[in-house]
Amino acid sequence: MKKFDKGYIYSSLLSDLFSSLVVVFIFLKDFFIDESAKVEDKIAAIPFFVIGFAVVYLCFIVYRILYYKTSGYELTENEIKCNRGVFFRKRSVLDYRKVHAINKRQNLFHRIFGIAVLTVDSGSTNTSQQAEITIIEKDKNVDALLNELNALKEGGTRNAESTQPKDELLLSDKDSLYRFTTGKKVLYTLINIASTAFFTVMFGLLAIIVIGICKLMLQQNFLGTWGQYFLYAFLITIGVMLLFSIFSLIGCLIHSFVGYYKFKITKRGNDIQISYGLLEKHTNTFSYDRIKAVKITQGLVQRMLGFAAIRLEVIGYTNNTGDDNKNADLGVLVPFCKYEEVGEILSKVLPDYVPDEKQTKSAAYFPFVSWFLLVLGIVLGATLILAITDMLIYNVPVVVIFAVSLAMIGVGFVILIIKVISAILSYQTNGLAITNGKITAYYGGFTKNVTVFSFKNLIAVENITTPLRKRAGIASLVLHLKTNALSNEIKVHIQKDSLSDDVEKLLIL
Amino acid sequence: MELKKLDKSVLKLWYIRATIGAMALIGVFVSVIAVLTATGAPSNVMLAVLLGVGVVVALLLCFTLIMPMLRYKMYAWGYDDKRIIVKQGVIFKRRVVIPVCQIQDLHRTQGPLMMMLKLSGVTISTAGSNFDISTLTTEEADRMLDELERNLEARIEELRNEEI
C-alpha cells in the first residue's frame, strides 16, 4: 500500500501551529492584559505557557506522524483501497464502477508543500459523513490519479489501456461553459449584502414599532424604567444586526472574489468538471448520469432583480472545505446568473435538466395563511391574556398594561404582515410541470426554488391534507427524491388533490 | 389495496407513553408549587405563576391524553407486491406511497416497552428518505419484513427482465 506524501505532515503541522498560536493567544490575552496582575508574575508565567504550548503541539506532531504511518492507498485491478485513521482506523474499498464523484482540494498550506487532497466518493451519503477514499499526494500525482480514476470508473478494470487516459480531463479556462466575471462577482456581492440589509430593515421595522410605542409612553412618563429597558434592548439588537451586516459584507467579498476565483465549468463526454478557489482550490469531477437533480434558487432580492443561482444534487459533490467530510449540502453549478439565462446555461451544460414552464398553480390562497393565523391568534391571545392577568395581580398601572398590550399586538401585526407577504409569494410560486420523463417542481416563499429531476429519481410521493382541504379538493404534495439525506423532500403546497394521483403514476413500481 | 388498522396493543403502548409524559408534566407543576412554597412567595406571585404554568400544563395534559386515541383511529397501513401505503395524521392527514423496488434496507426496532407488549417498529430505508411504520405486533412486523424482502427480490428480477 502506497503511503501519502510526506507533505501532509508538514502542511498539517504548519496549519496546527497557526491554530495553536490562535488558541494560546485567546487564552493568554486576558492574563497579560489584566492590569491587576503583577509584571513579575506575568514574566514568571511565560515558561509555563511555553511548556504548555509545546506539549499541545507535540501531541499534534505525534498525531500527524501516526496518521501518516497508518494511512495509505492502493489501486488494484478492480478497486481502490484506502487506510486511514489513528484512534479509529478505517479501511475503505471502492469498486471503480461505483465511483460517484472525484474531488480535488488544495488549501494554502497544501500549496506551500505542493500537495493536494483527492477524495473519491461512492455516493452512499445517507449514513456516512466521510468520503470513502482520501488520498494526499503531490499535486501532479493527484492530477494523474484524477485522470486515471476517471478512465477507470468508465472501464471498471485497471489494465494497460485504461491507466493511460486518452484525454486529459483537466481543461483550460477557455473551455469553460460559464464565466463568473468580475462584474458578476460585484453584483453578486451587492445582492447578497442587499439581502442581509433587507432582513435587517424588516427587523428594524419591527423594532421601530415597539420603540415608538414605548417612547411615546416614556415621553409621557408612563413607562419609566420598563420603557427604558425595552428601548435599550431593541437598540442593542439593531446594533448587533448592523454589525452582522458589516461582517456579512466582508464575508461576501471574500466568498465571491476569493472563494470563486477562476470559477469554471468544463464538460467532456459524460464528465463534468467544476473548479474554483484562490486560497483553497477545488476541482470536482463527476459523471453526467450521477446528477440526481438541479435546483435553481432565488432569494427575495435576487427574485426582485431577476437573478438566480443554480445548484446541483450530486451525491459526493459539495462545497465543503472540511478535511474529507461530506454533508448533505448541494454543490454549486452556477453561483450567479440572470434568471432568464438559466435555460440557456442549462441547455449547454445539462440539457436534460432545463426547467419547464409551470403546468399547475396553487389552488387557493387562504390555506397558505390559515394555520398560521390560527396559531398566531392562539399564541398571541393566550400570551396577552396571561400577561394582562399577571400584571393585574401585580397591580401594574393601567397605562403600562395598555403599552405592553399594544407592543405585543404590534409585534403580532408585523409578523402577520411578513407571513401574508410570504404566503402571496408562495401562492405565486408553487406548482409543478411534468414533461418528457422529468418533473419541474416550483416551491418556496421568500426564496423561490425550482428543482428539476427525472422520474427515475422519484422514490416516494406523499399527500398531505386536512379534512376541510380534502372537501375542497386541495392537498400539498411531498416528493421524495433519491438524493442526500437533508434535501430529499420537495414540498409543493396547496395543489389540486388529483395532482398527487398523477404523480403517483410516475413512480416506478 | 385494503389498508389495515393497527393492533389494539399499539394503543396500549401509546397510552403508557402518554401517561409517562403526563406524569412528567404533573411533576413539573408540583415542582413549581414546591419551589414557590419553599421560598415563601407572596400569594399574588404564587397565583400568577400557578395560573400561567397551570394553563399550559392543563392544555398539554389534555393533548397528551387525547392524541393516542385520535392517532390510532387515523392510522392505516398496507402493502402488496409493488407498493407500501401508510396513512396517518390527526389534523394534517398524510398518505405516503413507497414503491417496493425503491427499498434499500428494512429495519425492525424494539424498545423495552415494546418488548413487553410484543410490539415492533418498522423502518423502511430508501435511497432518499426513511419511512416509519409506527408500531406493529412483532409477528406482523416479521411477516411484513419477510414478505417485503421476497417482493423486493421478485420485483428487481421483474424489472431486470423488463430492461432486457
Instruction: Let me know whether A375 and A301 are in one domain.
Output: no
Residue A364 has pLDDT above 80, yes or no: yes
Instruction: Let me know whether B82 and B143 are in one domain.
Output: yes
- Residue A469's pLDDT band, with cuts at 50, 70 and 90, is very high
- Residue A101's pLDDT band, with cuts at 50, 70 and 90, is confident
Residue burial A165-204, b: 16+ Cβ < 10 Å; e: rest: beeebebeeeebebebeeebbebbbbbbbebbbebbeebb
CATH number at residue A501: 2.30.29.30
CA nearest to B56 within chain A: A382
The answer, for B46 touching chain A at a CB cutoff of 8 Å, is: no
* Between A214 and A88, residue with greater pLDDT: A88
Alpha-helical (H) ranges within A34-124 are: 39-70, 108-112
Q: Tell me how far the alpha carbon of residue A135 is from its chain's centroid.
A: 25
- Residue A166's pLDDT band, with cuts at 50, 70 and 90, is very low
Instruction: Let me know whether B52 and B120 are in one domain.
Output: no
Here the cell at position A343 is: 435555460
3-state DSSP helix/strand/coil % of chain B, to nearest 5: 60, 25, 15
Residue A328 has pLDDT above 50, yes or no: no
CA separation for the pair A200, A446 (Å, rounded): 15
The answer, for B51 touching chain A at a CB cutoff of 8 Å, is: yes
Instruction: Let me know whether B132 and B144 are in one domain.
Output: yes
Coil, helix or strand for A448?
strand
Instruction: Let me know whether A83 and A147 are in one domain.
Output: yes
Instruction: Let me know whether B31 and B69 are in one domain.
Output: yes
Range of lowest pLDDT (A236-240, A274-278, A483-487, B52-56):
A483-487
Q: What is the pLDDT of residue A486?
A: 52
Instruction: Let me know whether B45 and B121 are in one domain.
Output: no
Helices (H) then strands (E): counts for chain A: 12, 19
Q: What is the pLDDT of residue B13?
A: 93
In A436-483, DSSP assigns E strands to 438-443, 448-454, 458-465, 474-481
What is the rounded average pLDDT for all residues in chain A?
A: 82
Q: What is the pLDDT of residue A357?
A: 93
Instruction: Let me know whether A139 and A244 are in one domain.
Output: no
Residue A362 has pLDDT above 90, yes or no: yes
Q: Answer with the one of B56, B73, B90 that is the final residue of a domain.
A: B73
What is the rounded average pLDDT for all residues in chain B?
A: 87
* Between A507 and A429, residue with greater pLDDT: A429
Instruction: Let me know whether B64 and B20 are in one domain.
Output: yes
Residue A46 has pLDDT above 60, yes or no: yes
CA separation for the pair A203, A237 (Å, rounded): 9
* Between A491 and A270, residue with greater pLDDT: A491
Instruction: Let me know whether B124 and B96 are in one domain.
Output: yes
Instruction: Let me know whether A129 and A154 are in one domain.
Output: yes
Residue A412 has pLDDT above 70, yes or no: yes
User: Is residue B3 domain-resident?
Assistant: no
Q: What is the pLDDT of residue A236?
A: 75
Instruction: Let me know whether B38 and B89 are in one domain.
Output: no
Instruction: Let me know whether A329 and A245 are in one domain.
Output: no
Q: What is the pLDDT of residue A78?
A: 85
Instruction: Let me know whether B63 and B26 are in one domain.
Output: yes
Q: What does the pLDDT look like over A282-306, one tens digit per residue?
A: 888 888 888 889 999 998 888 889 9
Stretch A210-214: mean pLDDT, rounded?
67
- Residue A326's pLDDT band, with cuts at 50, 70 and 90, is very low
Residue A147 has pLDDT above 90, yes or no: no
Q: Answer with the one of A70, A90, A108 that is the final residue of a domain.
A: A70
Q: What is the pLDDT of residue A169?
A: 52
Domain containing A238: what range? 182-259
Instruction: Let me know whether B132 and B58 are in one domain.
Output: no
Q: Taking a C-beta distance cutoff of 8 angstroms, is the pair A311, A278 a contact?
A: no
Instruction: Let me know whether B67 and B90 are in one domain.
Output: no
Q: How many domains does chain A have?
A: 5
Q: Do B95 and A126 touch (CB under 8 A)?
A: no
Here the cell at position A69 is: 504511518
Q: What is the pLDDT of residue A325?
A: 43
CA separation for the pair A122, A101 (Å, rounded): 7
- Close Cβ partners of A255 (under 8 Å, ≥ 6 residues apart): A192
Which residue among A393, A460, A463 places its CB closest to the CB of B44? A393
Instruction: Let me know whether A271 and A298 are in one domain.
Output: yes
Instruction: Let me know whether A234 and A188 are in one domain.
Output: yes
Q: Which positions in chain A have a beta carbon within 8 angstroms of at least one beta carbon in chain B?
A: 126, 382, 386, 389-390, 393-394, 459-467, 470, 478, 480-483, 485, 488-489, 500, 504, 507-509
Q: What is the pLDDT of residue A197?
A: 75
- DSSP annotation of A168 reads -
Domain containing B117: what range? 77-163
User: Is residue A176 domain-resident?
Assistant: no
Stretch A252-275: mean pLDDT, rounded?
85
Q: Answer with the one of B73, B93, B120 that is the final residue of a domain.
A: B73
In order of A24, A32, A41, A92, the CA distances from A50 in angstroms are 9, 14, 15, 40
Stretch A167-181: mean pLDDT, rounded?
68
- Report the 10 Å Cβ neighbour count for A311: 21
Q: How many domains does chain B have?
A: 2
Q: What is the 3-state secondary structure (H, E, C) of B23-71?
A: HHHHHHHHHHHHHHHHCCCCHHHHHHHHHHHHHHHHHHHHHHHHHHHHH
Q: Answer with the one of B53, B73, B93 that is the final residue of a domain.
A: B73
CA separation for the pair A490, A461 (Å, rounded): 10
User: Is residue A213 domain-resident?
Assistant: yes
Which residue among B96, B100, B127 places its CB closest to the CB of A462? B96
Q: Which residues of chain B have pLDDT under 50?
A: none
Q: Answer with the one of A386, A409, A427 that is the final residue of a domain.
A: A427
User: Is residue B147 domain-resident?
Assistant: yes
Using only the alpha carbons of chain A, give its radius of gyration.
28
Residue A245 has pLDDT above 80, yes or no: no
User: Is residue B2 domain-resident?
Assistant: no
User: Is residue B23 domain-resident?
Assistant: yes
pLDDT cut 70: percent of chain A above it: 84
Residue burial A29-40, b: 16+ Cβ < 10 Å; e: rest: eeeeeeeeeeee
Q: Taking a C-beta distance cutoff of 8 angstroms, is the pair A461, A479 a contact?
A: yes
User: Is residue B46 domain-resident?
Assistant: yes
CA separation for the pair A142, B64 (Å, rounded): 58
